[in-house]
Amino acid sequence: MGNVNMSEFMTAKLMEAKVHFERALDCKHTEFDDLYPYMIEHPQFFWYKRYVAWSELLTIVKLCEELGFDWKSIFTEHQIEYIEKRVMSSKVLDCWNDSKEHVS
């Protein structure tokens, strides 16, 4: 990866995954929409889109843990609890966001 600082790289990837998940929760456009434009017509699309974003977030968190990078500093306490439980429950879907800044 050349001169890229690995900590900065992982933090950037983690932030991208966090924003992707939050945009999926709010039914905002994500790159997933571009990959599967035909799914917009199907009701289950938004559930699948959220599942994909949640999986991506958990994968990046797992990589951070395995590489010894701090991932908790960009999340709230309750978001950390949700991530550590690893289950995308209705509570995660309903209570994830403290603000709506990410959707602008």
DSSP assignment of the chain: -TT--HHHHHHHHHHHHHHHHHHHHTT---HHHHH-GGGGGSTTHHHHHHHHHHHHHHHHHHHHHHHT---GGGS-HHHHHHHHH----HHHHHH--S--GGG-
Question: Pick the residue with more confidence: 104 or 74?
Answer: 74
pTM assigned to the model: 0.80
Give the model's confidence band at 22: pLDDT under 50 very low, under 70 low, under 90 confident, else very high. very high
pLDDT digits (tens, 9 = 90+) for 53-91: 999 999 999 999 999 999 999 999 999 999 999 998 888
Q: What is the pLDDT of residue 102?
A: 43
Cβ–Cβ under 8 Å, residues 13 and 32:
no
Q: What is the pLDDT of residues 29-57, one digit of tens each?
A: 777 767 767 666 776 777 888 899 999 99
What gap in Å lies between CA 39 and CA 8, rounded to an integer?
34
pLDDT of residue 100: 43
Angle of CA points 81, 84, 103, to nearest 5°? 65
